[in-house]
């Protein structure tokens, strides 16, 4: 298989990640900190070490506020349901993934919040001035994707953070597509809530994500349960990270993520991915009937592009690539319907190509040739 769906999840994972997960399950495998015996303490140390490394990675200040979650979606839900209150106004963008859009629409449908969704320009970038213009006295939260999962454009997140800080609104950044390839600085950018998954560019396993919460954020525990300590406390304890971490954590995933972090080289990975993407885009640029729906400059994007073949349904293109060429690429709306509305590709969607750190030039050339053949048959 030629795998070009790394924006969904990176594949393959480094073998060190797989072996760390197996080793953890064989040699430790117990719940962290819950028993007070030595294996539990080993597990707790391992979890604490990854918490500390992730905090450093995003320039956070307090590892206790790096909360492990089941996914990026889970982290985003924790943030949105935890901070929003009756009567709040939220500003978000047309670039969001459904894991931001749907919780917000749900809260709006319940009559709890009002919502402003700002658009992006023809190059794929939001304008921070649109966000500033949308602020009202009720604006409690600004929720923005660091990079689009459809067209890959990296947003002006530092400017948005400045606006949020000036107006006293919380700032939630969805870093699903950037953590592991783009440097993140929650302190410099005034980010109050940062959500990200382990399984994309961090090259960790699925079933794991994290939410970093700034120390001044008032956030309710959106779920309650066991924390391994304070068992006599009738409700969720206020101490971090237990405040937001109910239930047994995904220790095997965290062990895999530890191995992934040990080998992480964001700048090198991004340079390779961009080289592969540029090769692909150049290859298909001359192919008749193929249109890249938002060809922003490569150095302003993570490794994703979306294209359509005139006269063909995107889902059909994806199916032919799979069945006839053994190429895995994602067709459709990519869980980002508002993005496709602005791009003019709703409801059919587009074909998304997303190379990863292990994609080779030969694979890209094979994909270009396959697209050429499919387009010729259209």
Ligand X SMILES: Cc1ncc(COP(=O)(O)O)c(C=O)c1O
CB of residue 7 vs ligand X: minimum separation in angstroms?
6
CB of residue 291 vs ligand X: minimum separation in angstroms?
22
Site pattern 4..23 for ligand X (x: CB under 6 A)? ----x---------------
CB of residue 78 vs ligand X: minimum separation in angstroms?
12
- Our CB check for ligand X shows the closer of 51 and 200 to be 200
Does position 88 interact with ligand X (CB under 6 A)? The reply is no
Does position 178 interact with ligand X (CB under 6 A)? The reply is no
CA distances from 34 to 227, 229, 238, 318 (A): 8, 7, 18, 47
Q: Quick one: tokens of 302?
A: 């993570």
Question: How does strand 170-174 pair with strand 139-145?
Answer: parallel
- Our CB check for ligand X shows the closer of 43 and 264 to be 264
Distance CA 229, CA 76 (A): 25
User: Residue 168 — φ and ψ, nearest 5°?
Assistant: 70, 25
CB of residue 144 vs ligand X: minimum separation in angstroms?
10
Binder among 46, 57, 67, 72 for ligand X (CB under 6 A) = 72
CB of residue 194 vs ligand X: minimum separation in angstroms?
12
Binder among 55, 92, 177, 236 for ligand X (CB under 6 A) = 177
Binder among 55, 99, 345, 359 for ligand X (CB under 6 A) = 99
Contact 92, 105 (CB under 8 A): no
- Our CB check for ligand X shows the closer of 139 and 304 to be 304
CB of residue 176 vs ligand X: minimum separation in angstroms?
3
User: Residue 312 — φ and ψ, nearest 5°?
Assistant: -125, 145
Site pattern 116..155 for ligand X (x: CB under 6 A)? -----------------------------x---x------
- Taken as a whole, the chain contains a residue count of 378
CA distances from 221 to 20, 55, 138, 246, 326 (A): 31, 21, 22, 9, 45
Contact 289, 43 (CB under 8 A): no
Cβ burial of 136 (10 Å; 0-12, 13-18, 19+) is: exposed
Does position 77 interact with ligand X (CB under 6 A)? The reply is no
Distance CA 287, CA 362 (A): 18
Residue in 338, 365, 340 with CA at minimum distance from that of residue 351: 340
Which region, judged by CB under 6 A, interacts with ligand X, from 68-76, 286-294, 297-305, 351-359? Answer: 68-76
CB of residue 207 vs ligand X: minimum separation in angstroms?
9
CB of residue 12 vs ligand X: minimum separation in angstroms?
17
Does position 176 interact with ligand X (CB under 6 A)? The reply is yes
Distance of CA 274 to the CA centre of its chain: 18
Does position 174 interact with ligand X (CB under 6 A)? The reply is yes
Q: Sheet harboring 350-353: ordered strands across? A: 290-292, 305-309, 350-353, 330-332
Binder among 60, 197, 253, 318 for ligand X (CB under 6 A) = 197
Does position 73 interact with ligand X (CB under 6 A)? The reply is yes
Q: Which residue has the tokens 């794991």?
A: 208
Distance CA 115, CA 284 (A): 39
| Residue numbers at the binding site for ligand X (CB under 6 A) | 8, 71-73, 97, 99, 145, 149, 174, 176-177, 197, 209
């Amino acid at each position: 298989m030629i795998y070009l769906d790394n924006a969904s999840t990176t594949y393959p994972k480094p073998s060190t990640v797989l072996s760390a997960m197996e080793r953890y399950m064989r040699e430790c495998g117990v719940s962290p900190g819950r028993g007070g015996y030595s294996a539990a303490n080993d597990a707790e140390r391992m979890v604490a070490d990854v918490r500390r490394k992730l905090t450093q990675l995003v320039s956070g200040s307090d590892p206790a506020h790096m909360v492990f979650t089941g996914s990026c979606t889970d982290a985003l839900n924790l943030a949105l349901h935890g901070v929003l209150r009756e009567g709040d106004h939220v500003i978000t963008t047309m670039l969001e993934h459904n894991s931001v859009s749907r919780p917000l629409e749900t809260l709006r449908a319940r009559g709890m919040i009002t919502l402003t969704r700002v658009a992006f320009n023809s190059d794929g970038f939001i304008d921070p001035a649109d966000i500033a213009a949308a602020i009202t006295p009720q604006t409690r939260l600004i929720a923005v994707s660091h990079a689009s999962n459809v067209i890959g454009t990296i947003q002006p997140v530092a400017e948005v953070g400045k606006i949020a800080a000036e107006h006293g609104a919380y700032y939630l950044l969805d870093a699903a597509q950037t953590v592991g390839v783009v440097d993140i600085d929650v302190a410099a950018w005034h980010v109050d809530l940062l959500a990200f998954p382990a399984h994309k560019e961090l090259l960790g396993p699925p079933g794991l994500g994290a939410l970093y919460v700034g120390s001044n954020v008032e956030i309710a525990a959106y779920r309650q349960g066991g924390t391994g300590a304070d068992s006599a406390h009738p409700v969720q304890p206020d101490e971090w990270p237990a405040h937001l971490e109910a239930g047994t954590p995904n220790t095997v995933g965290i062990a895999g993520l530890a191995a992934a972090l040990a080998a992480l080289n964001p700048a090198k990975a991004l340079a390779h991915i961009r080289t592969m993407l540029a090769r692909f885009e150049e290859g298909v640029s001359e192919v008749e009937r193929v249109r890249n729906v938002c060809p922003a400059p490569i150095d302003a994007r993570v490794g994703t592009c979306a294209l359509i073949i005139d006269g063909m349904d995107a889902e059909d293109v994806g199916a032919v690539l799979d069945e006839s060429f053994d190429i895995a690429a994602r067709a459709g709306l990519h869980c980002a319907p508002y993005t496709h509305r602005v791009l003019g590709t709703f409801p059919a969607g587009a074909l998304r190509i997303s190379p990863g750190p292990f994609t080779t030039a030969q694979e890209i050339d094979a994909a270009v040739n396959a697209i050429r053949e499919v387009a010729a048959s259209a």
